[in-house]
Each structure stands twice: as structure tokens, then as C-alpha cells.
Amino acid sequence: MQTALADFIRDTPEGREAEEILRKCVHCGFCTATCPTYLLLGDENDGPRGRIYLVKQLLEGAPVSEKTQLHLDRCLTCRACETTCPSGVRYGRLADIGRKLTEERVARPLWQRAERRVLASVLSRRAMFAPLLALARFARPLLPKALSGSIPHAVPNAGAWPRARHARRMLVLTGCVQPALAPDTNAAAARVLDRLGVSLVEARGAGCCGALRFHLSYQKQGLADMRAIIDAWWPHVEAAGKDAAGGVEAIVMTASGCGAVVKEYGHLLRDDPRYAAKAAKISAMTRDLSEVLDAELERLPAATGKPVRVAYHPPCTLQHAQQLRGTVERILTRAGFELTAVPDSHLCCGSAGTYSILEPELSERLKANKLSALASGDPELAVTANIGCQIHLAGAGTLPVKHWIVALEERLLR
Ligand code: SF4
Ligand code: SF4
């Protein structure tokens, strides 16, 4: 695609990156066929090709309006379009750049600004989120449906975290909302890995990965979260380089949404002289939990008894952003689960970070479609790999939904 970027952006890092992305797009439109919002709304501007064109106009200096903001807001950043694109167009990065510029030029109504600010502040801060979640569970009947559907009726017991006794160690991201909503996920991962001779450890002071604020267009604050977590992890990473006790061989993500962003730290902080090298190292060491277990597959205890029928929902952040497909499926099959067929498994469930709260109508439609696809093979439960999808789908109450590591531990180790 021919572009002539405007003076204000042409010679900036974002301008150069956006131009490179835009030049790759040949406008073929293959991506529209797999875009969830295009499939629901049928509007070119609610598909990737239309959004790319809107961002191109913005970068070329055309006036930007609420219309561009609306179509970018409706995008889930699911990145299904990246998987489909034959030209390797990195739509997600272009959307980040376009959103930041739109945000600077189009003032949102006061209530929208307030809603986004509250979400960015509360969800990314564990100390604030946990007590508010407890309060919200009592106040559920008074809350709007988009919010109450995301509040679990009960929080599972985490169980004991094994003592760090092995020479092999990996760091695990604690995260922001996951410890309050599903504390059993990291604990189950720690117990399963402990059985395989790996101690999983959490770093003191490591909180939100930065994805939340970055994707709400508080990019500066999101980058600050990333630097803070790098600071918290760095002593563990450095110790590994020196072969000292306590050094870790990998950084494990149990939420694929966080993993997708941490794997991009190197790119997002590439122009920061203090953090570029550390960020690149952190990204290179980051593994989704499924990558770690897939490498140890033969050492998993063998399953006994009747197979359990399970429907697997691969989060977009795993299958499209991280391009990891088949790993969780392989592990579940080895662990004695029978995977049921799930039509359109490439499509987003509508969770997408804060999307379910900010775009409730589209999100609900996507959730209904996903739940019906998951249930179509008559499974006993559904599993997924990201806290957002898990809580979003479980909230409907039609099918038990767990993190796959929790289901695996229940089947193999209890
Ligand atoms: S993003 Fe890729 S698939 Fe979509 S129109 Fe451009 S080249 Fe075609
Ligand atoms: S990221 Fe998802 S919702 Fe956004 S344009 Fe691409 S396919 Fe459509």
C-alpha cells in the first residue's frame, strides 16, 4: 500500500514502524473473513482492512473524528487478522499506534474518560482490586450486567504452594487480577512443575505486566508498569547468568494475555537506552506454561481411567498473538482428556481485556456464539489459557470453565 506520512509522524519511531506495516498491506481483504467484528457488523470499517485504511488516513494527516475512534474501539485486538494475512501485516502494532494518536486528537465524553481511568487504575493494581472484588461480590445485584457477569460467585482455594526445593527454577508472573479471581491457577502450575523437578517462584513486587494500561491507551503508564516488572525480575534473571543459586531458566506465563505482551517487551522498549537490553532478554526468556509443559510431555504422569470430555477454547493471545497452536491440545490429550470439536475456534470469545466492559453488546454476542460452539460437542467442562476468557465464559453459568492446568492437576495428581 502506497503511503505518504505527514510531517508530524514521518521521522518518529512510530511513524517508521507504521509505514513499514502499511507498505506490506496489499489490500486483498483476506483478513476480513476472520475478523469477529466484521462478521457481526458487516461494515468494512469494522474489519481490519477498513481500520488499516482509517489509520493510514490519520497518519497522512487527514482530520480524525469520533468515527475513527469508534471503529478502533470496536476492534478486539484479537489479531485473528494477523494469522490470516498472507503478507505478514502486523495489524496489532498499527492499531496501537493509531489508537494513541486518535486518543490525543479526539476528546472522549467525560463518562468515557472516567470509566477508562477507573478501569486502568483499579484492574492494574492488585492491592486495590482484591478488596474491591470482595465488595463487588456483595453488591452484585446492583451492578450493571456487563460488570456483574465478570464477578465470580466463589473464588477457588489455591491450596499449598510447594517449597522451592529443586535446582531447576522458573519465575512465574503473579499478575494483577488473576491472584484475586483464580488463585488456584499459579498454585496448580507450581504443584505440577514441582512433580516434574522444577520449582516455580514468584518475584516480590512484580505486579501487572502493563498490558492493561497500555491497551487502554495509557501507553506511557503501561510502559512504566513494564519497567517496574523488569526491575522486580532482573535480580532473578541476572543470577541465572552468573549460575548463582536462585537463578531462573525461564519466565512462565499462566495467562496468555500477559504472555503476549511480555514477549513484546523487547520491541516496545527498544528505544529506551536503560531498558532495551533487559527487556529483550526478558522477552527471550518468556514462555507460556503450555510451552514449558510441552517440552516435558513425556515426563507427565500417565492418565488412568475413563477420558474426560473437554472443550478447549484457545485464547486469541495464545493462538494469534503468540502464534502457539496445538501445545495445550497435545498436553490435554496426553493427560487423558478427550477434546471435543469446537467450531470456529479461531474466533474471539469477546473478553479481550476490558472489551467486555467497554463494548458490552458486541462482547455478549461473541460470548453467546463461543459458548454455543464450546457446548456443541457435549463436553463435561471447558478449559482455556487466559484469566479474562475464563471469567468471561464462566460468568454465563452454562458450562464449567477452568484454566487447563487446574483441570490437568485434578486429573493427574489428585
Ligand atoms: S492486512 Fe493482510 S489480509 Fe488484510 S488486506 Fe492487508 S494484506 Fe490483505
Ligand atoms: S484484531 Fe481482531 S477485531 Fe481487530 S481488526 Fe483484527 S480480526 Fe478484527
Taking CA atoms only, the protein residue closest to ligand 1 atom 3 is 85
Q: Are strands 198-202 and 286-288 parallel, antiparallel or unpaired?
A: unpaired
C-alpha 84 – ligand 2 centre gap (Å): 11
Which atom in ligand 2 lies closest to the alpha carbon of residue 31? 7
pLDDT, tens only, 61-115? 999 999 999 999 999 999 999 999 999 999 999 999 999 999 999 999 999 999 9
Would you state the pLDDT for residue 151? 82
- How confident is the model over 257-276, as a mean pLDDT? 97
**Percentage, residues of the chain above pLDDT 70:** 98
The CA distances from residue 57 to 11, 43, 50, 62, 90, in Å, are 17, 18, 11, 5, 17
Three-class SS of residue 407?
helix
Taking CA atoms only, the protein residue closest to ligand 2 atom 5 is 48
**Ligand lying closest to the C-alpha of residue 85:** 1
**Ligand lying closest to the C-alpha of residue 347:** 2
pLDDT, tens only, 156-212? 999 999 999 999 999 999 988 898 999 999 999 999 999 999 999 999 888 899 999
b/e 258-267 (16+ beta carbons within 10 angstroms → b): bbbbbbbbbe
Q: What share of the chain is helix, strand, coil (3-state, %, to 5)?
A: 55, 10, 35
Which of 85, 90, 320 for a ligand 1 pocket mutation test, highest count of atoms within 8 Å of Cβ?
A: 85
Judge if the beta carbon of residue 81 lies within 6 A of ligand 2.
Answer: yes
Which atom in ligand 2 lies closest to the alpha carbon of residue 77? 1
Cα 159 to chain centroid distance, Å, stands at: 25
C-alpha 222 – ligand 2 centre gap (Å): 21
Reading the block at residue 221, the C-alpha cell is 503508564
DSSP labels, 290-305: HHHHHHTGGGSPPP-S
* pTM of the predicted structure, to 2 decimals: 0.94
